[in-house]
Amino acid sequence: MTTETGHLARPTLSGSLAEAVIRMIGEEGLVAGERIGPQRDLAARFGVAVPTMREALRRLEGLGILSFRHGSGIYVGENYNRSVLPNAVLPPADRERLVELVQARVLIEPAIAHQAATVREPAAVARLADLLQDAHRCLTTGEDRLWRVNVDLHRAIADAAGNRIVAEVLDVILLLHAEDQRRILTLHGDPRADYEEHAELVRLITAGEADEVARRMHEHLTDVAGAIGPAKD
Amino acid sequence: MTTETGHLARPTLSGSLAEAVIRMIGEEGLVAGERIGPQRDLAARFGVAVPTMREALRRLEGLGILSFRHGSGIYVGENYNRSVLPNAVLPPADRERLVELVQARVLIEPAIAHQAATVREPAAVARLADLLQDAHRCLTTGEDRLWRVNVDLHRAIADAAGNRIVAEVLDVILLLHAEDQRRILTLHGDPRADYEEHAELVRLITAGEADEVARRMHEHLTDVAGAIGPAKD
DNA sequence: CATGGGAAGTGATCTAATCACTTGATCACC
DNA sequence: GGTGATCAAGTGATTAGATCACTTCCCATG
């Protein structure tokens, strides 16, 4: 029970190498998308053989902190300096797992919306308006992008709450079994009603109506959860 | 679409190997702590050279899905079939980051407590009583374990909510910069008051007082956040 | 100016050998 | 007979160098 080291110890060479690479990225001020040196140079720099260096780099690739491109180079990934990460190699989800995923959203997102209406991070609030408009466009033209836009809208709400950890948590939840979530939610959802509810959520956040937006967000998500939850397949 | 592939694609050999290993673990029904075969056998089985196989395994090690023990074997780790993972190689946290961490708890935990008082997963509720008693013992004897016990109590509350995703989220938040969190919270906290508040939280959960426990949890955490938040160092 | 080819840079994989650590059994000693 | 040291086998860790595959970009050609 209370043992649990959380796999944080790194007594191994490969482990300390990974740590050293992280430090190096920080010192050189590299950001996501930029290239780190060639593996051969890195190996020489840290005084190890290429395969050993590659093991350390692969480890970071698993976390999404690095990204390999054959023939091109090794690049800093999106998850560098990100705290909460999704398990990228998760076994396929059963129905129960998906229900839990949606219920987790029911639990967390109202609180996020409440905070968003309180903090109202300007950049994110501006993006809310854009996304809403974009969603409306997709709705009239029937574009496939609608799902993505709606997800981005929920993420923008989290951004408006002004807390990176919270934003990352929601990000991960929305990313987990993303395809399954999309299938299940588009199946049970009404695009028109979704849009109206999103518009109302954005209005309430902009107006700073924290309590009301939390209530509405709860309803917005409970509708979906209720539709898929009880169904036993 | 907004770019962002979420590093889910695995066109590389090392990537599909990692996926295959995950499948293999599932098929053989292995659980955390059990040994997977020797790397040489695995390499032969999947028809690749040892270094290539090791790269795939290292990638999973980075995620905490595997654990290497020199001379002993390679074992299934705690994070197998876990959805939400902590970044184990995070650069050191600045003060702002730690404040966000605590604020994230303020945001999420009241909702968790509310759900816990509603669902009241029996096993977890039973553990709550045990942990409370344990905390009391630590308090009287002045043991160092108190911090760990208190953290476990918060985690048990999340378990009582009966949602694995939510429990994992809280787990990760409590694990992030754990040492910094411990330092900052023990500095500003009053062990005696903490115990009383925890006892009240447990009582309310057991009694199913969802709204009240959410309010109390919010206060319980706001006290701490308020104490460390404004201070500009 | 556009295009195709080729050279250089870089990652991907392999082979095969050696070293280091763990584990368990064996065996000597008490 | 029990206890402890020792050793052998199993397994991970690291190395070296070579070769193949992919990307990028420059330059010559049309």
- Could you tell me if B69 and B99 lie in one domain? no
A5-9, A192-196, B64-68, B108-112: range with lowest mean pLDDT: A5-9
pLDDT 10s digits, B38-55: 999 999 999 999 999 999
Any atom of strand C under 7 A from CB of A70? Answer: yes
Distance CA B52 to C1' C13 in A: 7
Q: Percentage of residues in chain A with pLDDT exceeding 90?
A: 78
Q: What CATH number did the domain enclosing B132 receive?
A: 1.20.120.530
Helical pair A146-160 and A191-207, crossing angle rounded to 10 deg: 20
Residue A85 is assigned to a structural domain of this protein: no
- The predicted structure's pLDDT at residue B229: 61
**Contacts B211 to A, Cβ<8 Å:** none
- The predicted structure's pLDDT at residue B3: 34
pLDDT 10s digits, A180-208: 989 888 888 888 999 999 999 999 999 99
Distance CA A71 to C1' C1 in A: 29
A75-89, A174-188, A219-233: range with lowest mean pLDDT: A219-233
Tokens 């033209």 belong to A141
**B213: nearest Cα among B147, B151, B158, B135:** B158
Distance CA A73 to C1' C6 in A: 21
Any atom of strand D under 7 A from CB of B11? Answer: no
Q: At A101, which amino acid appears?
A: L
Residue B43 is assigned to a structural domain of this protein: yes
- Could you tell me if A121 and A70 lie in one domain? no
- The predicted structure's pLDDT at residue A233: 44
The partner residue sitting opposite A104, judged by closest CB among B51, B65, B163, is: B163
Chain C nucleotides near the protein (CB, 7 A)? 9-17, 20-23
- Could you tell me if B48 and B112 lie in one domain? no
- The predicted structure's pLDDT at residue B27: 95
- Could you tell me if A49 and A158 lie in one domain? no
DSSP string, A93-128: PPHHHHHHHHHHHHHHHHHHHHHHHHH--HHHHHHH
Helical pair A13-27 and A39-46, crossing angle rounded to 10 deg: 110
**A165: nearest Cα among B173, B192, B142:** B173
pLDDT band at A143 (very low <50, low <70, confident <90, very high): confident
Distance CA B46, CA B124 (A): 41
Residue B171 is assigned to a structural domain of this protein: yes
- The predicted structure's pLDDT at residue B223: 80
- Could you tell me if B172 and B214 lie in one domain? yes
Q: Residue A26's Cα: distance from chain center in Å?
A: 22
**Contacts B175 to A, Cβ<8 Å:** 6
The partner residue sitting opposite A91, judged by closest CB among B22, B56, B86, is: B22
Contact criterion met (CB below 8 Å) for B60 and B14: no
Number of H helices, E strands in chain A: 10, 4
Question: What is the pLDDT averaged over residues B67-87?
Answer: 96
Tally Cβ neighbours within 10 Å of residue A219: 12
Query: Measured between alpha carbons, how far is residue B183 from residues B65, B135, B147, B193, B228 in Å?
Result: 29, 18, 10, 17, 12
- The predicted structure's pLDDT at residue B184: 85
pLDDT 10s digits, B189-200: 888 999 999 999
Contact criterion met (CB below 8 Å) for A4 and B151: no
**Residue A193 distance to chain B (closest CA, Å):** 22
- Could you tell me if B152 and B44 lie in one domain? no
Average pLDDT, chain A: 91
The partner residue sitting opposite A111, judged by closest CB among B68, B84, B108, is: B108
pLDDT band at B187 (very low <50, low <70, confident <90, very high): confident
- Could you tell me if A208 and A141 lie in one domain? yes
Any atom of strand D under 7 A from CB of A48? Answer: yes
- Give the nearest chain B residue to A150 (CA atoms): B1
Distance CA A76, CA A34 (A): 6
Instruction: Please give the structure tokens belonging to residue B41.
Output: 């056998």
Contact criterion met (CB below 8 Å) for B22 and A20: no
Instruction: Please give the structure tokens belonging to residue B16.
Output: 């599909």
Average pLDDT, chain B: 91
pLDDT 10s digits, A108-125: 999 999 999 999 999 999
Q: What range does the domain containing B99 cover?
A: 95-228
Distance CA A203, CA A128 (A): 10
Residue B89 is assigned to a structural domain of this protein: no
**Residue A212 distance to chain B (closest CA, Å):** 16
Residue B153 is assigned to a structural domain of this protein: yes
A136-140, A211-215, B112-116, B155-159: range with lowest mean pLDDT: A136-140
Any atom of strand C under 7 A from CB of B72? Answer: yes
Residue ranges of alpha helices (H) inside chain B are 13-27, 39-46, 50-62, 95-119, 122-141, 146-160, 164-175, 178-188, 191-207, 210-228
**Contacts A19 to B, Cβ<8 Å:** 89
φ, ψ dihedrals at A143, nearest 5°: -75, 155
Residue A53 is assigned to a structural domain of this protein: yes
Q: Output the CA angle A115-A117-A119, nearest 5 degrees.
A: 65
Any atom of strand C under 7 A from CB of A117? Answer: no
The partner residue sitting opposite A107, judged by closest CB among B70, B83, B163, is: B163
Q: What CATH number did the domain enclosing B17 receive?
A: 1.10.10.10
Contact A61 B63 (CB under 8 A): no
Distance CA B51, CA A103 (A): 42
**pLDDT score of B11 more than 70:** no
- Could you tell me if A102 and A202 lie in one domain? yes
pLDDT 10s digits, B88-146: 999 989 889 999 999 999 999 999 999 999 999 999 999 999 999 999 999 999 888 99
Beta bridge partners of B75: B35, B67
- Could you tell me if B109 and B200 lie in one domain? yes
**Contacts B173 to A, Cβ<8 Å:** 84, 165, 169
pLDDT 10s digits, A46-80: 999 999 999 999 999 999 999 999 999 999 999 99
Distance CA A39 to C1' D25 in A: 21
Domain count, chain A: 2
Distance CA A161, CA A170 (A): 12
- Could you tell me if A219 and A104 lie in one domain? yes
Residue B81 is assigned to a structural domain of this protein: no
Enumerate residues 6+ apart whose C-beta is below 8 A from A206. Answer: A120, A125, A128, A129
- Could you tell me if B132 and B170 lie in one domain? yes
ipTM score here? 0.89
- Could you tell me if B109 and B70 lie in one domain? no
Residue A48 is assigned to a structural domain of this protein: yes
